[in-house]
């Protein structure tokens, strides 16, 4: 499973957890403005916005899981198994292969508004990147400081939804996910009052009782409610450190520890990495399961006018700072 969220303070932040039982060997990859990016149908684009994100780099090509561009637009792909369905080639439209959807949007669009226009002309196909990397069943969150949308390609077509919650997990489709939120409308960060019955002398014996009923399990509907509650009630200072710290706490609410989600005999899904991209400044922060210390890659510290993918392996070692 995976969870994505956005966060706004002085700058705009967007990130995700990548939860799975194995890693595809991902790294932080930057495509500079003059990296000639090959699109399956549209041909090669020589010049475009620079992007930074997490990708599996296959034969020099960045297969992004989540990324942001130098204009502050971010995008992430999350599993949508059983519901994702891609279209056949449509010659009336701009055909885009599912694996190149993130670079397709981020190399050309500066804002969510731009992305919405691009999506109207687009047809998302299911052609695989290679025989070794079959088509992933995903849905996507696209966001900037002014808006957030979800894109779901299903058997009945391509859906684009406004996303006022600013979060995304996995199944079911987004409208159902939002409908389920109705169940939680009385949850609050404030202490509850006794509305149960004045015949019972009910009191708050603990702090935090306003959110009793917020589901604690790892299902995608429960993670959706939990991360939405955390994000929408989040308070932090607006400095970079405070914002980044708070962002990791938002996604920390849905962290998956090894052992709690068995996906096959002896196989457990864990939070492989958690990312937080300051899309305003082009800084990609991440932690990994083994390395909870926040590490950062700054796209502006590389040559954004370059022509080749620049990638950084994730630092995986646990580093403990001894105090004595």
Ligand X SMILES: C[C@H](CCC(=O)NCCS(=O)(=O)O)[C@H]1CC[C@H]2[C@@H]3CC[C@@H]4C[C@H](O)CC[C@]4(C)[C@H]3C[C@H](O)[C@]12C
C-alpha distance across the termini of the chain, in Å = 39
81 binds ligand X (CB under 6 A): yes
60 vs 128, beta carbon nearer ligand X: 128
63 binds ligand X (CB under 6 A): yes
Distances in whole angstroms, Cα of residue 217 to Cα of each of 69, 82, 176, 229: 33, 21, 18, 14
Instruction: Please name the residue that has the structure tokens 């930074």.
Output: 52
CB 36 within 8 A of CB 10: no
36 vs 128, beta carbon nearer ligand X: 128
255 binds ligand X (CB under 6 A): no
2 binds ligand X (CB under 6 A): yes
Q: What's the CA dihedral at 176, 273, 145, 188 to 10 degrees? A: 50
Residue of the chain from 3, 170, 274, 279 that contacts ligand X (CB under 6 A):
170
How does strand 94-97 pair with strand 122-125? Answer: parallel
Catalytic residues: 2
152 binds ligand X (CB under 6 A): no
Distances in whole angstroms, Cα of residue 293 to Cα of each of 5, 107, 181, 187, 245: 20, 30, 33, 32, 11
2 vs 141, beta carbon nearer ligand X: 2
Residue of the chain from 7, 35, 61, 65 that contacts ligand X (CB under 6 A):
65
Residue of the chain from 12, 20, 104, 285 that contacts ligand X (CB under 6 A):
20
135 vs 222, beta carbon nearer ligand X: 135
Distance CA 289, CA 160 (A): 33
22 vs 179, beta carbon nearer ligand X: 22
Site for ligand X in 84-143 (CB under 6 A): 98-99, 128-129, 133, 135-136
Residue of the chain from 8, 24, 34, 315 that contacts ligand X (CB under 6 A):
24
135 vs 291, beta carbon nearer ligand X: 135
Q: Quote the least distance from Cβ 189 to ligand X, whole Å.
A: 29
39 binds ligand X (CB under 6 A): no
- Number of residues counted as binding ligand X (CB under 6 A): 21
27 binds ligand X (CB under 6 A): no
Q: Using CA of residue 244, residue 249, residue 250, residue 256, what is the dihedral sign?
A: positive
Q: Quote the least distance from Cβ 23 to ligand X, whole Å.
A: 8
Angle at 254 between CA 251 and CA 256, to 5 degrees: 115
Per-position DSSP letters for 130-165, written without gaps between them: -SSSPPP-EEEEEEETTEEEEEEEETTEEEEEE-TT
Residue of the chain from 5, 28, 30, 78 that contacts ligand X (CB under 6 A):
78
Q: Who's near 70: CB < 8 A, 6+ residues apart?
A: 49, 50, 51, 282, 299, 304
Q: Give the binding site for ligand X (CB under 6 A).
A: 1-2, 18-20, 24, 56, 63, 65, 77-79, 81, 98-99, 128-129, 133, 135-136, 170
């Amino acid at each position: 499973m995976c969870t994505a969220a956005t966060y706004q303070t002085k700058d705009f932040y967007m990130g995700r957890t990548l939860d799975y039982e194995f890693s595809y060997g991902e790294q932080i990859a930057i495509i500079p403005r003059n990296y000639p990016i090959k699109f399956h149908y549209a041909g090669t684009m020589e010049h475009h916005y620079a992007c930074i994100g997490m990708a599996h780099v296959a034969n020099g090509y960045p297969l992004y899981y989540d990324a942001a561009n130098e204009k502050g637009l971010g995008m992430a792909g999350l599993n949508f198994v059983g519901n994702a369905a891609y279209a056949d080639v449509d010659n009336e439209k701009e055909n885009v292969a599912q694996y190149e959807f993130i670079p397709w949007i981020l190399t050309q669009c500066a804002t969510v508004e731009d992305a919405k226009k691009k999506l109207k002309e687009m047809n998302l196909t299911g052609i695989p990147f290679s025989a070794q990397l079959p088509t992933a069943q995903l849905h996507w969150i696209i966001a900037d400081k002014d808006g957030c949308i979800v894109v779901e390609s299903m058997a009945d077509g391509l859906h684009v939804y406004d996303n006022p919650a600013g979060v995304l997990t996995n199944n079911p489709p987004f409208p159902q996910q939002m409908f389920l939120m109705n169940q939680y409308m009385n949850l609050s960060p404030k202490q509850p009052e006794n509305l149960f019955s004045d015949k019972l002398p009910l009191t708050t014996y603990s702090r935090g009782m306003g959110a009793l009923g917020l589901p604690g399990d790892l299902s995608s509907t429960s993670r959706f409610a939990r991360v939405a509650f955390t994000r929408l009630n989040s308070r932090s200072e607006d400095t970079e450190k405070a914002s980044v710290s708070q962002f990791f706490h938002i996604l920390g609410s849905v962290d998956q520890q090894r052992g709690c989600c068995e996906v096959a005999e002896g196989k457990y899904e864990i939070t492989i990495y958690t990312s937080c991209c300051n899309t305003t400044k082009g800084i990609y922060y991440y932690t990994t399961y083994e390395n909870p210390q926040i590490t950062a890659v700054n796209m502006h510290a590389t040559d954004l006018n370059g022509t080749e993918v620049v990638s950084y392996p994730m630092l995986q070692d646990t580093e403990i700072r001894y105090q004595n």
